[in-house]
Structure 1
Amino acid sequence: MTIPPFLSIERTSRHVSLDARNPAFYGNPNAVYAALHAHCPTFYWSEQKQWFFTGYDHVNALLRDRRFGRQILHIASREELGLAEPMPHLASFDLSERYSLLELEPPEHTRLRTLVNRAFVSRHVEKMKPELEELANRLIDGFADKGEVELLSAFADIIPVTMIARMIGIPEEMGPQLLKWSHAYVRMYMFGRTRADEDAAEQAAREFSDYVKTVIAERRAEPRDDLLTHMIHTEHKGQYLTEDELVSTTIVLLNAGHEATVHQIGNSVRIILDSGYDPAELFRDETATECTVEESLRIGAPVHIFQRWALEPVEIDGVSFKRGDKVSLILAAANLDPAKFTDPLTFRPDRNEAANLSFGAGIHFCIGAPLARLELNIVLPILFERLAGLRLAKTPVVKDVYHFHGLDRLDLAW
């Protein structure tokens, strides 16, 4: 496997040098992952000052390994770990994240997830199928006669945010504002974030939190049949969610409930159009559709990295970690491990190999996976059926936001 010129690998020390802002990398990260699998699947990324794992078995095991967690300050102090104090200019952002499902460990994680999980199980999500079909068709009606469309703004952006807002109980006309807040949040998780990114995220957190508090007050006064009302009025072992917990949970569900799915709709359409497969064959029935969706999730995952803290001293693949060390798991690279997937860089919807890790694994497995899968399984077949002869009108523009992977523009014609 050829090593790209912008990637430097020192095999003996397993040190890798790679600029995450290089368009040649974030535009086609799969090529880099293939080189890493061939030469250095577990590596120390010099620019990030952290160990990374790409092997399927390592990533899958570490996602489930209780010696690692999303949280560290529940068992150690900042002083003990040598961690900097929170930054005052991010006080609102930190508060909005404090009780995020993504950032907690048991028992707090168990309590919050138990209260939310019922709404996201497959049998409840399946009831949304008619709404999804109606929304997808209505959006396509708006551009079907034009012969061209920028798919993200006209379709992919709208569907996930509308559905998660309806589920939670947020007016869907808030969709454009939710997208703006969410985009500001996401930049906090990018490599090389700037003070401007932090200030934008802080403002978004303050505005988002204030808005959610007003909706919480409305639901306390007038309960409805929605997830927010359920979270407010349901107890777990005699406890109700506090207002800060409600705000954090609502924000993380709204952000996670659409950001990745927007990327995946765009990624999937691009993958299918580039594959040479006949869309009519890929979506000929429910089974074929599910296989197509899972293969597009494998080869074009929207979320690439999940991080974990070592909660105790541990050795993985010959690397020793002490309590408080951070490790990164590259989900998208694990999906391309040649030890698990034959010809891993090729889109093959008839695969019968390992399950993709795009939604994670273990206690932090994506709670919204059933909803995301339903959205993809419903809207992709409708899109390709309604727009016969769909093709790329221009080269897709990839977002410069590694470690989320998606498109800035997807111009199509038919």
Structure 2
Amino acid sequence: MTTVDLLDPALVDDPYPLLVTWRAAGPVLRATDGRWVATTHAAVSATLRHRALGRIWTDWQPAEQMEPFNTLHRNQLMENEPPEHTRMRRLLAGAFAKGHVERMRPRIETLADALLDELDPTGPVDVLAAYAEPMPVYVIADLLGVPREDHVRLRDWSQAIVHMYEQGVDEATRESAVRASADFADYVRGVVELRRAQPGEDLVNDLIAERDGGSGFSEEELIATVVLLLNAGHEASVNTFGNGLHALLRHPDQLARVTTGEVTPATALEELIRFDAPLQLFERTATAQVEIAGVTVAKGETVACLMGSANRDAAVFGADPATGADAFDVARDPNPHVGFGLGRHFCLGAPLARVELEITLRRLLERFPDIALAGAPPRRPTWVLRGLAALQVTVGPAGR
């Protein structure tokens, strides 16, 4: 059996050639660290949907040192299974059901236009720093009812925390994540206290008020939920937009299909999510012995789902060089990517993410249909959360 090295440096620059090799070797393989690795769309889907494969949080050690980081994760939706997960998901869904996604749509349109007004049409501009990075933080800030001017702190805390999701993190990363977790939790605690004293019409207010069978979020769950919303919303949105726009600009024929109206931005967005996945690996742990693709996974063993590999599986997306799994086709439909997960941990924020990303992409291409790459972009030195460090473009004169 082929052994998978999840620390292979080739995964950072371009994981896809290696993923082809791993898929060919089998749907479920062993990693050098002992984990199982699901490589195909079928194996990843089966793992994500299986009720006996869940998110089982294990505290980072030493626990006393790591407690601020551990507390945030121990009490959040994504790291729990039923019955806690069921209760928290119902509470969060109930708060979102108050019309927050539709409430945000006109705000996102206005925000996109304001950020695009600031782009310099005369020279190269980093569209990530100027447009894609502030957008999701502003959106989440508005959604939660916190000041937009705090976006730099919120972004920095978020990035420090999510760096812990990489493979083989060092001591400096751990220390930074602990500090960020403590500072972020204190900040959110202050927001919650303010909203209890001065109720508003934002999501934090509804999270405080939401009840399920008479009980709501505990204090630590409420804080962890707000932190999760920003971390997941920011990192996924920035990396999806950056990776996707980069792919679009490297394929001028596909870009033209969107700018001319042949393909809608909403349809193209699904291909942007699929083609270069912002989340490459997501884990599940067996709560009982299960079988995935003919492989027996013992209770307590972990399966690492390779999301980017699933999204490039020719068995699902085809082998035709022009339209298949490794082709970038903005009109692809159906497009059963696993970008938002599957099963009980399917991303609850997917509707908001789709609205935000569709508006962000659509307004950029409407305003600057002649946008083009201004050089090869540098990648972040990570691969689980795959993204660009910068994306220099020329936008040209404004269009519509």
TM value normalised by structure 2: 0.92
The code of the aligned residue for 2:183 comes to E
Distance 1:42 1:386, change over 3 A: same
Check the 8 A contact 2:4/2:31 in 1, yes or no.
yes
Check the 8 A contact 1:291/1:350 in 2, yes or no.
yes
SS in 2 for 1:409: coil
Distance 1:288 1:294, change over 3 A: same
SS in 1 for 2:332: coil
The code of the aligned residue for 1:38 comes to A
1:391-406 alignment runs, 5 A limit: 391-406=372-387
CA deviation vs aligned residue, 1:138-196 (integer Å, no higher than 9, x gap): 11111243332111111110101110111112211111000110111011111110111
SS in 2 for 1:324: coil
2:278 corresponding residue in structure 1: 302
Measure how far apart 1:315 and its partner are. 2.3
Distance 1:283 1:413, change over 3 A: closer
Q: Distance in 1 between matches of 2:96 and 2:261?
A: 24
1:62 aligns with 2:47: yes
1:323 aligns with 2:299: yes
Check the 8 A contact 1:303/1:403 in 2, yes or no.
yes
2:311 corresponding residue in structure 1: 335
The code of the aligned residue for 1:398 comes to R
1:369 aligns with 2:354: no
- Which one is further off, 345-354 or 304-313? 345-354
Measure how far apart 1:126 and its partner are. 3.0
Q: Distance in 1 between matches of 2:69 and 2:175?
A: 10
Measure how far apart 1:121 and its partner are. 5.6
1:16 aligns with 2:10: no
1:243-254 alignment runs, 5 A limit: 243-254=219-230
Check the 8 A contact 1:72/1:324 in 2, yes or no.
no
Q: Distance in 1 between matches of 2:164 and 2:68?
A: 13
Q: Distance in 1 between matches of 2:139 and 2:60?
A: 39
1:34 aligns with 2:20: yes
Q: Distance in 2 between matches of 1:241 and 1:323?
A: 30
Q: Distance in 2 between matches of 1:251 and 1:129?
A: 22
Distance 1:240 1:274, change over 3 A: same
The code of the aligned residue for 2:16 comes to N
- Which one is further off, 95-104 or 344-353? 344-353
Candidates 25, 35, 44, aligned match of 1:50: 35
2:321 corresponding residue in structure 1: none
2:79 corresponding residue in structure 1: 103
Distance 1:217 1:84, change over 3 A: closer
Check the 8 A contact 2:27/2:43 in 1, yes or no.
no
Candidates 336, 340, 365, aligned match of 1:355: 336
Q: Distance in 1 between matches of 2:162 and 2:17?
A: 24
The code of the aligned residue for 1:36 comes to W
* CA RMSD in angstroms, aligned pairs only: 2.0
Distance 1:253 1:207, change over 3 A: same
SS in 2 for 1:398: coil
Measure how far apart 1:86 and its partner are. 5.1
SS in 2 for 1:332: helix
- Which one is further off, 117-126 or 86-95? 117-126
Q: Distance in 2 between matches of 1:223 and 1:383?
A: 35
Measure how far apart 1:36 and its partner are. 1.9
1:153 corresponding residue in structure 2: 129
SS in 2 for 1:328: strand
CA deviation vs aligned residue, 1:12-71 (integer Å, no higher than 9, x gap): x23234533x1x32111122222222333321121x331100111111121111011102
Distance 1:220 1:390, change over 3 A: same
Candidates 116, 123, 133, aligned match of 2:92: 116
- For structure 2, the residue ranges without an aligned partner over 5 or more in a row are 319-323, 396-400
Check the 8 A contact 2:6/2:167 in 1, yes or no.
no
Q: Distance in 2 between matches of 1:299 and 1:254?
A: 24
Q: Distance in 2 between matches of 1:230 and 1:154?
A: 31
The code of the aligned residue for 1:93 comes to F
Candidates 257, 265, 268, aligned match of 2:233: 257
1:105-254 alignment runs, 5 A limit: 105-120=81-96, 124-254=100-230
CA deviation vs aligned residue, 1:260-306 (integer Å, no higher than 9, x gap): 10111111110100112253521555962222110111111111111
State the percentage of identical aligned residues.
36
- For structure 1, the residue ranges without an aligned partner over 5 or more in a row are 1-12, 74-82
The code of the aligned residue for 1:61 comes to A
Check the 8 A contact 2:145/2:204 in 1, yes or no.
yes
Q: Distance in 2 between matches of 1:382 and 1:266?
A: 15
Q: Distance in 1 between matches of 2:101 and 2:253?
A: 29
1:9 corresponding residue in structure 2: none
Check the 8 A contact 2:95/2:207 in 1, yes or no.
no
Q: Distance in 2 between matches of 1:41 and 1:71?
A: 23
CA deviation vs aligned residue, 1:68-124 (integer Å, no higher than 9, x gap): 110267xxxxxxxxx986522101111111111110111111111112114546964
SS in 2 for 1:271: helix
Q: Distance in 2 between matches of 1:138 and 1:132?
A: 10
Distance 1:120 1:279, change over 3 A: farther
Measure how far apart 1:385 and its partner are. 2.2
Q: Distance in 1 between matches of 2:231 and 2:61?
A: 26
Q: Distance in 2 between matches of 1:183 and 1:72?
A: 20
Q: Distance in 2 between matches of 1:325 and 1:346?
A: 35
